[in-house]
A and B are shown apart, each in its own frame.
Chain A
Amino acid sequence: MRALIFALALCVPGLAFGQAAEIAKPDAAVEARLKGLAEELRCLVCQNQTIADSNAPLALDLRNQIRQQIAAGRDDAQIRAYMVERYGDFVLYRPPFKATTAVLWLGPMLLIVIGAVVFLLVVRKRRGVSAPGAVAISDAQRAQLEALLEDAPLPPPEAKPPKRAKR
């Protein structure tokens, strides 16, 4: 008898912690839609996690909220709108394109364009530098040049290399 009471007492903390649980009777289709939605929504408590990944109580509440709304027959756009109404565009990992998010969406492209322009300008400038230096020569001139190079005296021996500094 005493052992039984003791065993029951041990269960109590388990019960207390058991309250924060996912809704029971998972339904595969609902869970799949939930996963798709939850992976696109930011958990505002941990900010860099989606509400699918997060174990924060709020993320759990929001997952249950989404489950209920799916069960109530609301579509994905409606559920997303529900979240944005409450938490703002920041909950969306893919925020809509509007005036306040224009820099976010266009910034990287703008940087790529600037980079490409700078790259092209530099390349063109280099080409401009080397082109006037290059002089077209005839075959005869080339042969003469090679002959000259063959005959050229060896360069004077190099000066003794400086002693390496001891490390």
Chain B
Amino acid sequence: MKALRYLIPLAIFGLLVAFFAVGLTRDPRQVPSPLVDKPAPAFKLAQLHEPQSVFTPEDMKGKVWLLNVWASWCVSCRIEHPLLVELAKQRVVPIVGLNYKDKREDGTQWLKKFGDPYALSAYDIDGRVGIDYGVYGAPETFVIDKQGVIRYKQIGPITPEALEKKILPLIRQLST
């Protein structure tokens, strides 16, 4: 009984430490998306480079592809951009850009300056498609499978680590 007196506070302390140990390593900005494992929301948008052409996710049916939300005003997009350019060179997976709340001219200039990894970019001027995709912090990247289902969402820049450990293995698995 006497031992219990000391063991209970110790146990509570241990529990708190465990909660903090897990909680402090998590990023509160990473809100799990309810869209994962759901069909990618449909949309129809003009393309960034060719305003007369339309893009819809339907066009990508039968392919595993990435949808990357970016904007010329988005600072973090520049951080991940070299990684995307590199990935595009390897031709592992088609990357479609969603140019989010940007000016057409700024967007095209930005791609000219930093390289264009995108098969094409859809031009979401008012951010409506962004809302449908639950975008709240560009850049965001969605891995979409052959059936058009979202299988993974990266919030914030793609890190080399996330690419190697999550995105590439998932693409390989979905492609087979």
Which residues from chain A sit less than 8 Å from chain B, CB to CB? 44-45, 47, 57-58, 61-62, 65, 84-90
Closest partner residue, chain B, to A89 (CB atom): B34
What are 11 A-B interface contacts by the 8 Å CB criterion?
A: A45-B136, A57-B127, A61-B127, A61-B131, A65-B128, A84-B34, A86-B133, A87-B31, A88-B31, A88-B34, A90-B31
Number of interface residues of B (CB under 8 A): 17
B132 at the interface (CB under 8 A from A): yes
Interface string of B25-37 (1 = CB under 8 A from A): 0001101111100
Which residues from chain B sit less than 8 Å from chain A, CB to CB? 28-29, 31-35, 101, 126-128, 131-134, 136-137
Q: What residues of chain A lie closer than 8 Å to B132, measured between beta carbons?
A: 86
> Which 3 pairs between the two chains have the least Cβ-Cβ distance?
A44-B136, A86-B134, A88-B34
Q: What residues of chain A lie closer than 8 Å to B28, measured between beta carbons?
A: 47
Closest partner residue, chain A, to B28 (CB atom): A47
Contacting pair B34 A86 (CB below 8 A): yes
Contact of B131 among A84, A86, A89, A90 (CB under 8 A): A86
Contacting pair B136 A88 (CB below 8 A): no
* B135 nearest CB across to chain A (Å): 8
Measured CA separation A65–B29 after assembly (Å): 23
Q: What residues of chain A lie closer than 8 Å to B136, measured between beta carbons?
A: 44-45, 58, 87
Q: What residues of chain B lie closer than 8 Å to A47, measured between beta carbons?
A: 28-29
Q: What residues of chain B lie closer than 8 Å to A62, measured between beta carbons?
A: 131
- Most chain B CB neighbours (cut-off 10 Å) among A62, A87, A89, A90: A87
Measured CA separation A12–B28 after assembly (Å): 39
Closest partner residue, chain B, to A20 (CB atom): B101
Contacting pair B35 A86 (CB below 8 A): yes
Measured CA separation A61–B133 after assembly (Å): 14
Q: What residues of chain A lie closer than 8 Å to B127, measured between beta carbons?
A: 57-58, 61
Measured CA separation A44–B31 after assembly (Å): 9
* B130 nearest CB across to chain A (Å): 8
